[in-house]
Amino acid sequence: MAQLIDGKRISQEIKDELKEKVASLKERGKTAALAVIQVGNDPASCVYVGNKKKACEYIGIGSVSYEMPEETKEEALLALIDKLNEDTAVNGILVQLPLPSHICEDKVIEAISPQKDVDGFHPQNVGRLAIGKKGFVSCTPAGIVQLLKRSGIEIAGKNCVVVGRSNIVGKPMALLMLRENATVTIAHSKTRNLKDTCRQADILIVAIGKPQFITAEYIKEGAVVIDVGIHRDGANRLCGDVKYDEVAKLASAITPVPGGVGPMTIAMLMNNCVETML
Ligand code: GUN
């Protein structure tokens, strides 16, 4: 049976390290505050935003929340972002996605100062990642690299297949694995022979957004499998993009859902917030 990659434990370890770092930075007079903006009442977003605020409190940084109604105008959101960009008491700005359909997400992301973009979504930060310069990195992919490293899984020289090409996960994930010297393939829903492509992977990272899509047939024996998906199955239980029970029999290591990638996203957001203090 596969080694379980315990995201809950590893994210706790990271948050505890950050808590210590924040305490010593505070002794040197440095503080940090994260502004968290939510537009509307999407139930999943409410849970994520709540968890982000709790994590700030745990590691000892301030958080200021802005809860805006669903019908908020784009200009009003952009004006708030401008104000926060100028506010020296705010080091990080996070706008929870998705936004209501009348607001252009790209415009909002581009309005955030790249120096305060703790989500790592601004084109300037994505560009810096692409050319190997320092900058904020998208939290879920950064968390996956930490999961692998802290589980003793070597990345350099391995065949890594990333299934999914979103701006938030798939693309930055591929760039990060390349930075770690993996040989990287990006596959997606239109890839021909997806099974054959996935079966080449020593490390398979799945962010395709389809419940239990990846079955044993997609897995090379001994592969490491990272599942970014989170869904509810027919019995209302949480499940991922990977059919866990059958894939775990073949894989050498696998992330569970829940308790795998999910908690790492918040730990890496906290890491980005602490970087703003340095
Ligand atoms: N919505 C889903 N994931 C994320 C994330 O990592 N950051 C933000 N801002 N919104 C999200």
H helix or E strand, kind and range, residue 65: strand 62-68
DSSP characters for 135-197? Answer: ----HHHHHHHHHHHHTT---TT-EEEEE---TTTHHHHHHHHHHTT-EEEEE-TT-TTHHHH
Rounded mean pLDDT of 57-74?
Answer: 98
Residue 63 pairs with which residues in a beta bridge? 34
Rounded mean pLDDT of 238-255?
Answer: 98
**Does residue 96 have an active-site annotation?**
yes
Rounded mean pLDDT of 105-128?
Answer: 98
**Does residue 16 have an active-site annotation?**
no
pLDDT bracket for residue 231 (50, 70, 90): very high
Rounded mean pLDDT of 59-81?
Answer: 98
Distance 105 CA to ligand 1 centre (A): 12
pLDDT in tens, 157-178: 999 999 999 999 999 999 999 9
Answer yes or no: pTM beyond 0.85.
yes
Q: What per-residue string of b and e applies to 116-131 under the rule 16 or more CB within 10 Å gives b?
A: bbbbbbbebbbebbee
Of 49, 103, 119, 171, the one to substitute when testing ligand 1's pocket (max ligand atoms within 8 A of C-beta) is 119
Residue 252's pLDDT is 98
pLDDT bracket for residue 1 (50, 70, 90): confident
Nearest CA to ligand 1 atom 1: 97
